[in-house]
Amino acid sequence: MPIKNIIPGQRVTKEKLERAKELRREMTPAEKILWQELRANKLGVHFRRQQIIAGFIVDFYCHKSTLVVEVDGDIHDFQQEEDARREKVLREMGLKIVRFRNDEVLKNLSGVVGKIREVVSSRQT
């Protein structure tokens, strides 16, 4: 039975699917806090966590708003080239990417959620 994906037409390896499941189980504290604000359609749209898109695993994804939300830890300071390449691919697919630092989520959750809410409402069709 083929694996059902929210992004039609993409092939997902078994390894990538297992990695996404592992990342859902081992979310960072900042991701866990933000997920509590995004889950269950709390912003009026459905978000998925650790979604595979074009071979990349994004932290949070809203299909209806074509929005990717990334929560970056210190590791992202050392992988800027990879992040730029990944963002280019995702943007070419028509996706909007918003990034927040871990400490921003932990210290200003209402501001982060407000920004996401703004982007969601600006991308509603």
pLDDT the model gives residue 125 = 58
Domain holding 116, by residue range, is: 28-122
Q: Within the chain, which residues score under 70 in pLDDT?
A: 1-9, 74-79, 125
Residue 11 domain flag: no
φ and ψ of 48, to 5 deg: -115, 150
Q: Which amino acid is at 1?
A: M
Residue 101 domain flag: yes
pLDDT the model gives residue 77 = 58
Count how many domains the chain has: 1
pLDDT the model gives residue 8 = 65
Residue 7 domain flag: no
Residue 19 domain flag: no
Q: What is this structure's pTM? A: 0.88
Residue 2 domain flag: no
Task: Read off the CATH number of the domain in which 46 is found.
Answer: 3.40.960.10
